[in-house]
Structures are given as structure tokens and as C-alpha cells.
Structure 1
Amino acid sequence: MIGSRSTSPRTTTLVCALLMLFGGTEAMAVEEPDYTVARTFPDFELRRYPPHAVAETEVAGPFDEAGNQAFRILAGYIFGDNRADTKIEMTAPVSQRPAAGGGERIEMTAPVVQRPASGTEGETFVVSFVMPDRFTLDTLPEPVDPRVRLREEPGKLMAVRRYSGRWTETSYRDNETGLLRAVEAAGLKPLAAPVYARYNSPFSLWFMRRNEVMVEVAETGAKP
């Protein structure tokens, strides 16, 4: 509670960083990855994303806490904790996916069957920041923190379901299930584990938040 205890310098720095990164996102433009809408379905949108660079880190812990742990690490990188002491502007979304099998192409049922149960100690996630379009993998500054890795995300065809509300695992799982069912009904085949994407500040009102669940799908197979 404000005023009831002292705040550590580390906590104050993190709060300031979050405010600087996200505090004005509802009032000013924040860069997002380019994409084209290939087709619109009743329950999801089919988007084609070109290749783009990301900074990511892997963290262990419950679903609802993984994003916060990873944010501290990645925020340090874009705030200048890199070999060039370069500050990098924040973009959206911040994405989160299961570490096991998340980057590999897998069968339709694998995203549901293979993910660990909620809250298990062995649960591991990869959390990513999309890098601004002005950077390539070759021009991004080298991270100082070995937990941060830079990677080029290849171009993909993604089925995307958008929803609002709080950042809870229950809400995400409900929408993940809805997306996978809708994708199957449309005759599309998922190729990897679903990704959780968050676009807004932790300080934004819950009912104004933009959240998405995304899954890569094969190029062919959609029903007319």
C-alpha cells in the first residue's frame, strides 16, 4: 500500500521503466510488426507476418508470473544494458510461448497435450520483445546479459484471436481453446504452440487492454 512501507531503489527503477516504456502507449503510437490480413473468419483473423528481429529470454515459473520475470530482463537490454549503451524504443506486443516445442513445427494436438500443467515447477516460457523495424539482426547491439538472445523470427502465416480483459492464465486458455477449435473448423493446420501477445501497459484499465492468442498455420487447407 502506498505510504505504508519504503520502496527499494530497484522497485522504483522498474516502476519508472514501465511507465516510460508503456505509460503513454494509449496516447502515442507504438510500433508494431507489419502484417497483411490474408483472410477474416468469424472467430479469428489470418495474418501474414514478414521476418523481423526479436530479443527474447527464457524463464521458469507459473504462467501468470513468467511475463513479469522476463520483462525485467528484456527491459534492461532495451534501456541500454548492451555493448553499445544504446537505448531501444519499446514496441508491441510482448509475446509469451511455451519453451518446449514452441519454436518447432509440431502436430495439431501438441500445443494442448504437451504443455505442462498450470503452476508446475518445470514450466518454462520464452518471452519476446519485437525489435523496431529500423534494426536488423546484424545492427542490433549485443546484449550484456547472457540471458538475452537475439533472433530473427521468420515470416509466418498466423491465425490470431483478439480479446480484452485481465492478464490471467484462465482467460488466455479459454481464448486459446476457442482459437484452436475455430482453426480446426476452418480446415487449417496449426504448426507450432500458440503464442500469447500483450499490447498494453500494466497500468491500463483491464477492459481496455488488447490481448491476442496467435498460432502459426500451414499455407494451405482453409475451407472456402
Structure 2
Amino acid sequence: MSLLSTRGLSKHFAGLTAVNDVDFDLPEGQIRALIGPNGAGKTTFVSMLCGRVELSSGVVMFEGRDISVLPAHKRIGLGLAYTFQITSVFGNLSVAENVALAARRRVKGAMVAQVVTEALGKVGLADRMEQNAADLSYGHQRLLEIAMGLAQAPKLLILDEPTQGLADSEISDFKALIRDLANSTTILLIEHNMNVVMELADFITVLDFGQVLAEGTPQDIRANAAVQAAYLGTV
């Protein structure tokens, strides 16, 4: 059984079809990359998975349960965490306080501090716990977002453009982080950096004009002529 699946998932905005009749299956334990040109519908698609955008038609299933009409906070409670394409940290709070807010959805009392320390340690921000989030670089804010997701012990972690704003050295650390996280959680990665995608993903889904253009291993996708044409030969 897939951890997450969709059938006929569609979203229409005032006559514009952003996502059109997408069937999608994500097995437990996989690193799946979702790629495609700008405007392909990737963020709208994952926003429907997370409950941030209401679907126009279709079904979203998580662990065999229909979650199509559940609000976002209920989906988080089931184990589905999503980091945003644009950082959503609280700039006036410390790094630790940001992660603690996320942790308190799952644990209480002294356990909060333990979860905060573990999550920040995993993303390499343990030495910045007392720093205000607003003072972090953009790349470090993205890592803080991931820590906030990890604090919820997700069964599925959805990362939207996580390497945007990271330096090359930080991207190398990020890839190591994802490989480590994959031992304990399923990962859906929306990413434009093709080196990251090809190195990390077990399987890739390509969206174009709101529809699935192709699916396969990194080798399959790299060799796919339709993907090369849609993605301007950058894959």
C-alpha cells in the first residue's frame, strides 16, 4: 500500500487548470522528487496534499485513509509535514523557540527541549539555538524550517525548493541530511537543482501543464526525450 496517493486530483483557478487529473503513488520509505518547468503545478499539487489549497476534484489518501477534506493541521497530526517554498519561520523568535512551537504539537514538558535539540542538531543549527530567526541567512532559515518539520516526527516530509539560497557547501550537507532522514521518514522533494534531484531521488515524477508527463528512475528521466523538451534540456 502506498503511504500517500491521489486519484484524479485537479485544481482550477477561475478558468485556469493548475493541476489536471493527477494519479500519484508514493511508497513508504522512498525519496521521491517532483520536478517540472515553472508554472507546471508542482506547488499547487503539494499544497492540495497538505490541505493548504482546496482541491477541485479527486481524492487524496494517506495510509489508506481519505484525507481530501481534512484541514492542514489535522494532516500534520497524521504525520504529514510540509516546508514552504518561501520561508515561514517566526523572525522575532529564537531558533529554538521556532522549533519548540512545532514540537509542542506532538510532545509536552521536558520532552520539548530534547526534541528541539535533536532536530537542530540534525540540520546543523545546534550552535544557533538562541539566535533570532530573522538574523539567520536565507539558507539557514530553510534549514530551520526543516528542523521544524522534523520536530513533528513526520511519516512524510514534503520539502518545497529546500536548496534555494543554499551555498554549494551547504547543498552538500543538505544531501547528506536527506540521506540520513530517509532512514526514518518518506520524503517528497520539489526541487529545481537537477544535480540534487539526480543524486538523491529513488524515483522522479515530472509535471508539465498540471499533468504527469513522465515517471521513472533518475536514469529513465534523464533519457526521456519528452522531459528534455519540456525542461529545455536541463535534465
Shorter-chain TM-score tier: under 0.3
| TM-score normalised by length of structure 2 | 0.23
Q: TM-score, normalised by structure 1?
A: 0.23
More helix by share: 2
